Amino acid sequence: MGKKIAIVGSGAIGLYYGGHLANAGQNVHFLMRSGYEAAKTQGLRIRSSEAGEIHLPEIHVHNRAENIGPSDLIIIAIKATSNNDLPQILPPLLKEGTLLLTLQNGLGNEEFLADRWGAHRVLGGLCFVCLTREDPITVNHLGHGTLSIGEFGGGSAGAAEEIAAIFAKTGMESLAVPNLLCERWRKLVWNIPFNGLSVALGGLSVDRILDDAHHLSDVRALMSEVIAVAHAEGCEIGPGFAEANIDRTRSMGAYRPSTLVDWQAGLELEIEPIWGVPLRRAAAAGVPVPHLQNLYQKLRAA
């Protein structure tokens, strides 16, 4: 059974990665509120356009962290907008040696965890995957799936390799990365333009953004600004990286980024970790980012 793993945030990301771990025989416990009764009686499903369907008719599902108890690894997959709930959620799950792996978007989430529970516990994961949540217990996997894991400053030596190996045993592509901050910036090269423009333009899927020459120009300008800020923070991102991301996005079809899904559902958006913190880091580094500034203001208005 290996490590006891608690999934905090059983949305698309939490169900997808937690479901794969459970399917591989890991001792996984899901903390759920919405969908708890359905998951308790029906389990969960992962439907993949690439790998078919996984149905787990029985899973360990709980509606209170106290019912899970101390765990070896806590995977945090809630929206960053709910981080202030974590000081109430996490204590019953912690013990000496518990590791915290955040799969959240943007910058600042590792710092939030480190300030409260110690940098030595904290790892970050970057999910390069297209998912939608069909219903409370069903996740649709539309493509991709690479998971990159890195240790936050002062993290446990070798922890990223160990956790990446656990995920790799599920059949997913998973790797440990030496520089977590640089991986965060690489993901923001995609997240900042596509998540942001999908909302700022009134509700466009990625294919509609790419099909419009003006919108595509905005994508490239935003990517260029993000790469410039990353460079100022010591993260080298090659000149072909932006175009490679655009080419990869074309294969996603009419994919709706997670921020668009949240906006259309009337949920709070993760504006600060994805756009606000990078904008402030650009200002601190003296890097001009007019397109990012304009997008941030539009998202705040939305």
User: Known catalytic residues?
Assistant: 187
Q: How far is CA 7 from the centre of its chain?
A: 13
Among candidates 277, 206, 284, which has minimal Cα distance to 247?
Answer: 206
Among candidates 293, 294, 264, 266, which has minimal Cα distance to 278?
Answer: 293
Tokens of 145: 């799936």
DSSP assignment letter at 104: -
Residues shown for the chain: 302
- The β-bridge relationship of strands 44-48 and 138-151 is parallel
* Helices 213-232/277-285 angle, 10° precision: 60
Tokens of 67: 């019912």
Find the helix or strand (DSSP H, E) in which 102 lies: strand 99-102
- By three-state DSSP, how is residue 112 classified? helix
Classify residue 4 by burial, with Cβ atoms within 10 Å: 0-12, 13-18, 19+: buried
CA-to-CA distance for 302 and 299, rounded, in angstroms?
A: 5
- Type of residue found at 158: G
- CA Rg, the chain, in Å? 19
CA-to-CA distance for 86 and 106, rounded, in angstroms?
A: 17
φ and ψ of 180, to 5 deg = -65, -40
